[in-house]
Chain A
Amino acid sequence: MRYHHFSVKNWAVAGWQLGWVLALLLATTGADWQRFRGPNGSGIGSGAMDAPGKWTVADNLAWKVRLPGRGVSSPLIVKDYVVLTASSGYRQDQLHVLCFDRRTGKLAWERQFWATGRTMTYPTITTATPTGVSDGENLYLWFSSNDVFCLDLQGNVQWLRGLMLEYPNASNSLGLATSAVVANGTLVLQVENDSQSIALGLDAKRGSTLWKIDRPQKANWTTPLMLSDANDRDAVVMLQSSSEIAALEVATGKSLWRIERECSTIPSSVLADGLLLVPSNGLVAMRTQGTTRQPEVVWENNKLKPSTASPVVWQDRVYVISSGVLKCASCQTGEVIWQVRLKGDFSASPVIGGSYLYAFNDEGVGQVVQLGTDKGELITEENLEEIILATPALVDGEIYVRSDNSLWKISASPNAP
């Protein structure tokens, strides 16, 4: 019979074609922003459409909702939902997980929990500072109190942990701000602080601890970076710390390589086209050699020191905000090509969509820089008049901005159904 002659090669081709069909379907049904700074922490917008370069609240606000609590965590965009965490109460010990309809901004569901760990933070941040992460099916929400909640997209609780009940000194009096990553069924939590400094791998399905390792005993607010595809069976994650960068096997926490060097503890690293850019002595670029071998330093530039915001790479250029100045440098050489002064101080990291870089300063002024070959041009300044410390999400031409009190959706076509 004919199907007896359908070879392995035929199946492979068919699978490849099916894959493309599925990919196209996904591209046309909307993209996700599933973690801090989007796809592998790149800060690069996803989806088929471009966000508006010139926008105003009057013309481009699709919706705005008031939040029941404060927070610095970024919104997640998963399928038709926008998911956000917040904390409230005099002690900031009421933890909120909020899920909104992406199209309308209507609250789909909310879950509240009590913090089981310390909630003290620096005054400008709150218990809801780490950004959640999703694998597309479940949501993993981590708070500065070291409480972790896993919910599905309908808000059904799958598991929860209160890590300070087990690790009572795994806290930071300024607050934890590191965001989690999830890869190949493991949720990686980098809980680095001055006291009980650890990293954990939790079973994403059940919440149980798969591994725990000790980490440098110094406060750290950076977010892990995947060196491999998150779905790889041998997925590898990189932790950037005060005194080292280290690559770990996600499944086991086993150390694959480690480079001793002083790194920044606030802005996080970024990986683009095999080039690892680490905030360290300004910025250091390293060429990766697979995931299991140490990367090699290509260049260092101490003039490219990111302040609080993390660097972002687009079309072979790296962009950093250093003391309010946006600097554009070559990924090949580290040479600064142009720079433009922005307004204000930046806690939120910039994101790029199309040829636009979006940066929101602490006072709530959204600024858009048109990224040119030889220069950058500030083309938009729009004041949202609320404190903004959270990095926005950027998908399908839509910008989701979280201020201290509100969640905003800014869109090229705000009235689209």
Chain B
Amino acid sequence: MRCLKILSGCCAILVAMPGGASAADAADVAAPLRTLRAVGNDGSNSEAAAAAWDALSQQPASQLPVMLRALDDAGPIAANWIRGAIDAVAAREIEQPGGLPIAELEAIVVDRTHQPRARRIAFEWLTRADTTAADRLVPNMLDDPGLEFRRDAVARILSSAEKIPADNPRDQRLALYRQALNGARDEDQIKTIAERLAGLGQTVDLAQHFGFLRDWQVIGPFDNADRQGFAAVFPPEEKIDLKATYAGKDPNRMVQWTELRSREEYGKVDLNPLYDNAKQAVAYAWTEFRSSSAQDLELRLSCKNAWKVWLNGELLFEREEYHRGTQFDQYQLKAHMRPGSNEILVKVCQNEETQPWTVEWQFQLRVCDALGTAVYSQPVTGDRNE
């Protein structure tokens, strides 16, 4: 098999013409790319894929643009196969007299119709071959659909702002920080910008900026003894009736929905003050998001308790993990919003552990697009169920 793979690769080299991609080259690339795109998540067809990878990895530099463009419609597994081959070709060819096809690589980088990951790989090899490329390209990437490009562009603006002498008019720095804030999507950069703006007298409402949902109806505690509450179906999972009361964890005590407005910087919904730091307990939080149109968005959740999230009655995801840590945008859930009202229900479970790091019973949830740009609920204008 290995001999066949090597033979296949040698044939690919023999038919490759210097100076540009020939029709034979294109055929050589098309077939292995098709094979790699067909690889399943389960590892099936890997022998054929390895042979295709060999053939691709021995292509001339002139085929790099074709291989990069193939990333546009590749799934995550195929993309990794193709990327490996691109890197193998580029690493070899950058050392050769002809080098890399710089103009073609740059054309891919600046063409935003291509997938950001394809453009980024092109950028990384381009900047190795042409050390002036980053200075030429990055300043124009503040609104790029690629997060890494945006990050680079924001970093340059921040660097410029830091270099402005303190005795210069503050408006110069303010303008740069505002510009950076518009472009930034990574939390660390946004926090830095917010701190700098605060130092210049401008406050950024981070919860608003990120699109955290702050107004909730919550109900609990229900029982989570022996962690059975995660799988148990309590009444809010069957029907949302904000006026209803139910028997809770303590069967002698009825529980009811309560309004909770988070005033935390990151929209944290803290259940402990409301439910007296209960252990072995379940609570639900419900809210409404009014979408301007039918659109594919994301619900981004941070939670160190076991949780489930439903959108319009459909379970988006669930995770039974307690107190293993949390971070900004810990979970990214694809969410198809319908026009008008969309109901979001979050189930948050607290377990029995008593160590200091197991106290938290909370979550944060924001609505944004795939890039992380906040998307806001529309003001109420009519009936709730329009």
Contact = CB atoms under 8 A, between A and B. Distances in A.
Contacts of A325: none
B370 to A, nearest CB: 14
Interface in A169-194: 169, 172-174, 193-194
Interface stretch (B161-169, B292-300, B323-331, B339-347): B323-331
Interface residues of A, number: 39
A182 to B, nearest CB: 15
A333 interface: no
A110 B76 contact: no
Contacts of B304: 173
B83 interface: yes
Which of A109, A112, A203, A209 has the largest count of B CB atoms less than 10 A from its CB? A112
B47 interface: yes
Interface string B66-87: 0000000000110111011101
A114 B147 CA distance: 14
A158 B50 contact: yes
Interface in A88-113: 89-90, 109-113
A156 B235 CA distance: 55
Contact of B54 (A156, A161, A174): A156
A195 interface: yes
A174 B148 CA distance: 24
Given A157-B81, A162-B77, A122 B325 contact: yes
Nearest to B44: A208
Contacts of B87: 110-112
Given A90-B151, A114-B79, A193 B321 contact: yes
Contact of A207 (B43, B54, B324): B43
A209 B43 contact: yes
A104 B54 CA distance: 27
A219 B42 contact: no
Interface in A194-218: 194-195, 202-203, 206-209, 217
Interface in A55-96: 89-90
A116 interface: yes
B321 A195 contact: yes
B319 A113 contact: no
A108 to B, nearest CB: 10
B188 interface: yes
Contacts of A260: none
Contacts of B330: 120, 173
B188 A159 contact: no
A156 B81 CA distance: 10
B188 A90 contact: yes
A44 B41 CA distance: 37
A155 interface: yes
A159 B51 CA distance: 10
A194 B320 contact: yes
A244 B147 CA distance: 44
A202 B325 contact: no
B117 interface: yes
Contacts of B151: 90
A376 B317 CA distance: 54
Interface in A138-167: 147, 149, 155-162, 165-166
B144 interface: no
Contacts of A111: 84, 87-88
Which of B44, B47, B321, B327 has the largest count of A CB atoms less than 10 A from its CB? B321
Given A113-B83, A116-B77, A161 B324 contact: no
A281 B317 CA distance: 37
Given A157-B50, A159-B46, A219-B324, A166 B41 contact: yes
Contacts of B117: 114
Contacts of B53: 156-157
A89 B152 CA distance: 11
A162 B117 CA distance: 17
B274 interface: no
B197 interface: no
Interface in B79-100: 79-81, 83-85, 87-88, 91
Given A174-B324, A195-B321, A109 B76 contact: no
A307 B41 CA distance: 38
A144 to B, nearest CB: 13
B215 interface: no
Which of A89, A109, A120 has the largest count of B CB atoms less than 10 A from its CB? A120
B376 interface: no
Contact of B77 (A110, A165, A194, A203): A165
A110 B77 CA distance: 19
B188 A202 contact: no
Given A90-B188, A173-B321, A194-B321, A166 B91 contact: no
B42 A208 contact: yes
A381 to B, nearest CB: 33
A176 to B, nearest CB: 11
Contacts of A160: 46, 77, 80-81
A156 B50 contact: yes
Contacts of B42: 161, 166, 208-209
A194 B50 contact: no
Given A114-B117, A160-B81, A219-B324, A165 B188 contact: no
Contacts of A173: 304, 321, 324-326, 330
Interface string B373-385: 0000000000000
Contacts of A172: 321, 324
6 contacts: A90-B148, A109-B88, A116-B80, A120-B327, A165-B76, A194-B321
Given A89-B148, A113-B83, A160-B77, 13 more contacts: A109-B91, A113-B80, A114-B117, A157-B81, A157-B84, A157-B85, A160-B46, A160-B80, A160-B81, A162-B77, A173-B304, A194-B321, A206-B43
Listed from nearest, the 3 A-B pairs whose CB atoms lie closest are A207-B43, A159-B46, A173-B324
